[in-house]
Amino acid sequence: MNTIAIEGINGAGKTPAIQLTLESLASEGLNADTYAPYHLVREKIVEDDLYPLWADRPDQAVQLLHQTIDEIEADARARQLDVLVFDRHWMTAFVQALQHPPITRWWGDRFVPTVLLTSPISHLMRLSERGYQEHWLQAEALRQYVGDYDTVHQAHPQHFIGKFSVASSTQNLQPIADHITKLITQERI
């Protein structure tokens, strides 16, 4: 089973890029599906979201994510998927590690080939302008995350199979899906 992750800041186009990738892989006869471990882990915590754990108990956050990823991979194998696409994986944890460095040690070597989607801050600002209240969707946090994702990308280039900039919500994301599908069908990952 091929396993990849599509990573990026909120609003960078991960969800539509993942959907196009699944469609492209299916057109090649591959059984593919996506899982979002950072969403699934919410079922295992009392907090509304995983993010408070990063500050208070980052070791527990990593442990819960590892457990969730193990469960996802077992389910994907049981379903006999050809391709497992993660909606976020190691990179999101490593962004948190910029504030809590032990996270990288706790994470270990659990990496998957990753595509990073970036966006100019002007595109991302539409999230805070829509009135979302979550702190990670506010202008200051969005600016910080843009820099953090770039820092992690530069520090770990060996784990990336592509980086794409999504500048608008009307941008054609099919080239991203085509890139991933080509790498998988040519057995380059």
**Is there a domain that residue 125 lies in?**
yes
**Is there a domain that residue 187 lies in?**
no
What is residue 48's predicted lDDT score, i.e. its pLDDT?
80
Q: Summarize pLDDT for 145-183 with one digit per residue, the tens.
A: 999 999 999 999 999 999 999 988 888 999 999 999 999
CA-CA-CA-CA dihedral for 128, 133, 134, 140, to nearest 10: 40
CATH code of residue 77: 3.40.50.300
CB 173 within 8 A of CB 17: yes
Task: Report residue 97 as tokens.
Answer: 């590690």
pLDDT band at 114; cut points 50, 70, 90:
very high
Q: Summarize pLDDT for 26-64 with one digit per residue, the tens.
A: 999 999 999 999 999 988 998 887 878 888 999 999 999
What is residue 169's predicted lDDT score, i.e. its pLDDT?
83
pLDDT at 132 over 70: no
Q: Report the domain count for the chain.
A: 1
**Is there a domain that residue 188 lies in?**
no
**Is there a domain that residue 189 lies in?**
no
**Is there a domain that residue 70 lies in?**
yes
Q: Residue 138: which domain range?
A: 2-182
